[in-house]
Structures are given as structure tokens and as C-alpha cells.
A and B are shown apart, each in its own frame.
Chain A
Amino acid sequence: MRITRGWALVLLGIPIAFLIAFFVVPFLVVVLSSLQTKDGSWTIANYVKAFSDLYYWDTLLLTFRLSLLVTVSSLLIGYPLAYYMIYVLKSRAIRRLFYVVVVTPLFTSNIVRSFGWMVLLGRRGMINDVLLTLGLVERPLPLLFSETSIVIGLSYIMTPFMVLTVSGVLQNIDRSLEEVAQDLGAGSFMTFLKVTLPLSTPGIIAGSLIVFTLSVSAYVTPSILSGGKKIVMSMLIFQQYGSVFDFNFGATLAITLLITTIILVVGYLLAMERGTRMTAAAT
């Protein structure tokens, strides 16, 4: 099917117009209102307020620290699982079963998944039960409503994203490269370390970027699993819109979170690029 210029304009023009009307312009409204006072005059006072108060810095730091922990732990769980699914599992039926189990949590709302962890992590929840029965602890651990519970809950929520991203990349690796390494006498672990792992770095980078940015803006899981004891940026933002009704300052916090996240992501990508170039130069 060949698409004429006129048709292309219509077929792509309507979706783009829709996105401009309901995505680009609303986003610009947020940007502009972060630079306005309540009565609409221009100001940078909102940003001065956000950056001069240590409280907001602390919240921002906590948000990034938790997101980093979540990224690392979902990588530690997700990568080996993805590797197992693609490299070790031979039967397509069992691999499909694994995909079903990975995707089902993804299709369940964050609330329900956090609710599950709330039950598991409670004072008399399953985790504490097991620890007590095994005699590993003497009294129930205060797991729930802490940074630990936020990290556990968010890592659970993010693991499927990591598995799907990494397995997608592993799937497309040319197997003959690994066969060559084995023919040259490399053991399977050496083959993994020298061939598969380097070739799968795009998956690791993409997966950690997805998980990190989603964790930074996560709202539901921190709210439920912190019990209000820990505040992350998204909770502050919603507070401004939902109970303080200061849309302008809410917008300022939202833009601040977005810009600092972008800075971190770009920094990470640059560091990774330099890292790969240096490894390439060394070998």
C-alpha cells in the first residue's frame, strides 16, 4: 500500500493535533503556571521557595535514593530471570508460562500489588511469620511503613519492566557469537561475562532508565507502603493539587522533579557512553 502525501497528512495530522491539544498544551499550562502567582502575574518566587527550603531538597534526595535502590534491586532480580527465560528454558510452553507470570502483575493495578505487600510485611504478616518460625528473629520486625517497605514494594512493581526489557535484548543477540567463544575454549561463565553481558548492556541501560523514571514519579506505592511516615516528591505534588489547592506551587514541584530527573538521566547516559568507549579502547 502506498500512502499519498495528502493521506499521510490526514493520517498523521489528526493524532498529532490530538496530542498537541491534550498533551503539549496542558503540559505548557503547567510550565507557565509554575512561573505565576495565584493572581496570574509572572514570578520566580515559587522556584525560590522550592530551592531555598531544605525540606524540598531532602524530599528530592529521598525520592532519588529510593529510586536508585529500586533500580538496582529490580535489575538483580530481573536480569537473571530474563537470562533464564531466554537462554535456559527450552520449551516454548514453559517460556510462555513464565511470560504469563511476569505480565500478570504488570496488568494488575499498583494499589492491589502494594496491598499484597502490606499484608505480607505486616507485624503478623507472612514474612514475619516465616522469620519467627525459622528462629531468625526473636520478635516481629517493623518492616511495614518504612523506607524498606517502599523499596520492596516498588522493586516488585518494577521487576516485570526490567525482565521484559532485558529479555527483549537477549532474544536478539546473535547466538553464533557465543558459539564462537565456546569453540575458542571459553567456559559458559566466561562466555557470559565476555560476550553475552556486554552485548546485553543496551537492555540494562534501557531497563534501568524505565525503572528509575517510573520509580521517581511513583505515587501509589510510596503512599500505601509508607503509611504517611515517609514523604516522596509525588506525594508533595499531589498534596498541593489535592488538599492545599496551590496549583502554582504544585506545578513548580512537578517541573522541578521532571527537570532534575532529566538531568540525572542525561548524566547517566553520558557516563555509560564514556564507559563503553573506554572499554572499547582498552580491548
Chain B
Amino acid sequence: MSQALFARLGRLALSGFGWLAMLYLLIPLAVIVGSSFTTTAYLSFPPVGLTLRWYGQFLKDPSYLSAIWTSASLAVAAASIATLLGVPAALVLARVRFPGRQALSALLFSPLILPAIVMGAAILQYASALGFARTFAAILAGHTVIVMPYVVRTTLASLVGLDPSFEEAARDLGDTGPGAFFRVTLPLIKPGVIAGALFAVIISWINVELSMFNTTAELMTIPVKLFNYIQYSVDPMIAAVSAGTIYVAVVVVVMLDLTVGIDKAASMNR
């Protein structure tokens, strides 16, 4: 009897903790979104009044628009290259046994372990030596390297859980060679590929540590621009820009949930 009571109390305490943790995870974001609507010239939460003025102000500023454009092109390009390279790599790792497989798989995942700041320095020094420092190509190369492990990981996760009988059936029916990949395997591992690509997009979109080594006044990504601004002053306009990046995060999370299921995507990527 008392044991059941304890269990119930424990459960209750856990629920309370769980929902409080939700609040904790949401509040810092809510503060930014809230204060981006304030009519005051200084940051205020809860907002005083309600205005879209600050959004108008940053959307009229060409330097923000160009930074958003740079970040978006980087994210899409890095995620696309990483998908084109990472999916085939995962396919070979999952299906072919060969000596040195472990070592190559470790190499594919090692960008996850190397601190982003070291990677940023490395790309800057390397690109300086080869004469393409502080260019879009230099940042793109670095971003592609750090996002590729995410694609490899989610693709591997869905390949490992795949029932091989589907592919065997296709082979028995004479569907062999590279074409079979696109007709049979790819549709089956699509959730893993989509989850990996979306993770790749977002990891690139929010990166500061790597980009900041290679950005210039003309070549600027939105997180680095935000960072340079927030270090010196904060105001509702910068809250509006920040809130904009939160909306992007929410859209990508919803996309993940609708295509793959957020719980599945999360457990594929750990």
C-alpha cells in the first residue's frame, strides 16, 4: 500500500519536473520572441504594446538580407553536398565488409569530435595557404565537413534497420545494379536521408564558431552578424532578427516531425 503511494508520489514529482523542464527550455526563446514585439526602444519583456516595426526595420536593411541570403545558400549547398557524399558512404559502410572499414567509419565521424573552433582555424590557415581564405568556398568546405557526419549517421541508422528481403526480392526479379538503388533502397531509407539533410541544413544555418574565422564585412552569415552586434549592444531590432531565426528552427522541426516523426528523427541522431 505505502509502496504504491510512494510510486504515485514519485510519478507526480517526475511529471512536475518534466513540465517545469519544458518551461525552462522554452523561456529563453519566449523572452526573445516576446521582446521583439515591444513598442519601447529598449528591450522589454513582457513587451509593452505590440508592433511589427522592428521586423520592418531589419527587413529593410540590405546588410541583414544579404547575410540571410549567404547563410541560406551556405546551408542548402553544404547540406546538398554532404547528402550526395554521405549517403553513398553510409551505403558502403552498411553493406560492404572490407579491411579498414572501422577506421574509415571513424574518419567519417571525427568532424563531430574536433572542436568547431579548431576546425575554423584549420580552414582559415589552409585556405590562406592555397589562396582562397575568407571566401564563400572556404566557409562552404568547412560547413560541408561538419554537417556530413549527421547525414552518414541517420542514413546508417535507417539502413541498419532495413529488412533486406525487400532488396532481395527486387534482385530476384532482375532489378539489379545502380538503378535498383533508386527504385528500391532509396525510398526505404528516405526518412534517414531526409532527417540527415534537415539536420545538416540547420547545423550549417546556426554555425558561428567555424564561420567567424572566414567572414568579412562583405561576406557575412546571419549568426556571425548577430554575434558581432549582441556583443556590444542589444535592442528590440536585434531581438526581431533573433526571433526570425527561432521561427526558422520551428519550421524545420515541424518539417522533421511531418516527414520523419520528431521522436524517430531524434533517436536516429544520437
Contact = CB atoms under 8 A, between A and B. Distances in A.
Contact of B104 (A3, A7, A12, A84): A12
B31 A119 contact: yes
B252 interface: yes
B41 interface: no
24 contacts: A1-B171, A19-B107, A23-B114, A23-B119, A23-B122, A26-B122, A27-B118, A29-B126, A80-B21, A107-B249, A112-B226, A112-B242, A167-B266, A187-B6, A188-B6, A188-B7, A188-B10, A223-B231, A234-B117, A241-B121, A241-B124, A251-B125, A254-B121, A261-B115
A109 B206 contact: yes
B118 A15 contact: no
A107 B142 contact: no
Contacts of A230: none
Contacts of B171: 1-2
Interface string A250-262: 1100110110010
Contacts of B148: 15, 19
A8 B96 contact: yes
Contacts of B254: 100
Contact of B234 (A12, A15, A118): A118
B165 interface: no
A19 B148 CA distance: 9
A15 B85 contact: yes
A194 B8 CA distance: 19
B21 A104 contact: no
B130 to A, nearest CB: 10
B22 A120 contact: no
B14 A258 contact: no
Interface residues of B, number: 100
Contacts of A18: 85, 144-145
B125 A26 contact: yes
Interface in B89-104: 89, 91-93, 95-96, 98, 104
Contacts of A224: 227, 230-231
Interface in A72-110: 77, 80-81, 83-85, 88-89, 92, 95-96, 98-105, 107-110
A60 interface: no
B118 A84 contact: no
Interface of A: 1-3, 7-8, 11-12, 14-16, 18-19, 22-27, 29-30, 33, 77, 80-81, 83-85, 88-89, 92, 95-96, 98-105, 107-120, 126, 156, 159-160, 164-165, 167-168, 171, 187-189, 206, 213, 216-217, 219-220, 223-224, 234, 237-238, 241-242, 247, 250-251, 254-255, 257-258, 261
Given A1-B180, A101-B22, A115-B242, A251 B234 contact: no
A96 B264 CA distance: 9
B45 A119 contact: yes
Contacts of B170: 1
Contact of B227 (A22, A164, A220): A220
Contacts of A220: 208-209, 227
Interface centre among A29, A213, A241 (most CB of B within 10 A): A29
Contact of A111 (B18, B88, B114, B226): B226
Contacts of B207: 109
B7 A187 contact: yes
A245 to B, nearest CB: 11
Contact of B28 (A113, A242, A257, A261): A113
B253 A113 contact: no
Contacts of B107: 16, 19, 24
Interface stretch (B51-59, B60-68, B255-263): B255-263
B92 A12 contact: yes
A26 B118 CA distance: 10
Contacts of B178: 7
A170 to B, nearest CB: 10
Contacts of A24: 107
A108 B43 CA distance: 20
Given A102-B25, A164-B270, 18 more contacts: A2-B171, A11-B91, A12-B89, A15-B86, A22-B145, A23-B114, A77-B24, A101-B22, A103-B262, A104-B253, A108-B245, A111-B242, A119-B234, A188-B7, A188-B10, A189-B6, A241-B121, A241-B213
B88 A15 contact: yes
Interface in B209-239: 209, 212-213, 223, 226-227, 230-231, 234, 238-239
Given A29-B122, A109-B223, A237-B117, A119 B32 contact: yes
B208 A171 contact: no
7 closest Cβ pairs, A-B complex = A116-B28, A217-B115, A26-B126, A107-B249, A11-B88, A26-B122, A109-B206
